[in-house]
Structures are given as C-alpha cells and as structure tokens.
Amino acid sequence: MAIQVGDKMPAGSFKQKTADGVGDISTDDLFAGKKVVLVAVPGAFTPTCSAKHLPGYVEAVEAFRSKGVDSLACLSVNDAFVMEAWGRDQSAEGKVVMLADGNGAYTKALGMDMDLSAAGLGVRSKRFAIVVDDGTVSHLAAEESPGVLDVSSAESVLAAL
C-alpha cells in the first residue's frame, strides 16, 4: 500500500555524493523538525525530469522558502554519482538536495515503485511530490503516468502549501 497523507515517513536512508565522497543521509536527518518537499522522479537525465520537473523546483526554491519549506530534496532510483552529476547539470547545488535510492528500497517502502523493465529501465520510482512536516506526510501528489507532470510540479505543490 502506498503512503498516504497523515502517515509517518518510513525510517530509512539515502546515498548522497558530496565533496567528501558518498555518504548516508537518514530520514531522521532529512525530516526531523523540518518541513521538506520530497520530489521523486523516474530517472535522472530523463526527458520530463530534466526539462520540467527538477528545473521547476530549482527555479522556485525561494518561493518554497517563503512558504516555510526548510528543504527541497529530489529522490531517484539512481546511484549517488548520477544524482550528483544531474544536480550539477541542473544547477541544483545549494537549492535541492539530491538523494540516491540505488536499489529502490526506500521507494518500495513508500509503495511508490513501478516496473519499467519493458522499457529497459528496471524498477523505478513513480513521479511524485510529498510535503513532509516533521516526518509526517501533509500533502501527497502522485502522477498517474511517468511521462506526465501535473500534480507533482513545483507550481502545483506551491499552490497546495
């Protein structure tokens, strides 16, 4: 069953590439005592994700901060090296925390995984955005199809805050 509004975010960790190398960031570090928008995409460097989804959040970082959001984070079933390179490519540094869920364990724990093996992509994340208030889901916007960007766009999530 997929995560719902009012649920606590499952405990877990992500990989993150920094200047010091690849390290872990726990859900406690990410969510405890903060308002965070967690955006998930089917894949780094993919068309909709690179042309529209992540850029919308990068461009709107100040608008999110003005609405009380402490942090924006982008999650994908990719490795930390790919997520760091994609963040650099998208000018996300200092604006959006790039999180890797390499084997999809956290995505599965959320119930937001999908099988794109027929397209040669394996198991990936659905496209979604979750507003997390101190570890609890206060808003969830999941797209019906991986190529669609509507309810999980930066504009839609800003309007919901």
Q: Let me know if domain 13-160 sits in CATH 3.90.1330.10.
A: no
Q: Are strands 71-76 and 96-100 parallel, antiparallel or unpaired?
A: parallel
Residue positions annotated with a catalytic role:
49
DSSP state of 52: I
Task: Say yes or no to pLDDT of 122 above 70.
Answer: no
Domain ranges, ordered by start, for the chain:
13-160
Closest CA to 138 of 3, 1, 2: 3
Note if the pTM is more than 0.85. Answer: yes
* pLDDT cut 90: percent of the chain above it: 82
Mean pLDDT across 111-133: 86
pLDDT tens digits along 11-56: 999 999 988 999 999 999 999 999 999 999 998 888 887 889 999 9
Q: Which residues pair with 132 in a beta bridge?
A: 36, 137
Residues counted in the chain: 161
Q: How confident is the model at residue 1 (pLDDT cuts 50, 70, 90)?
A: confident
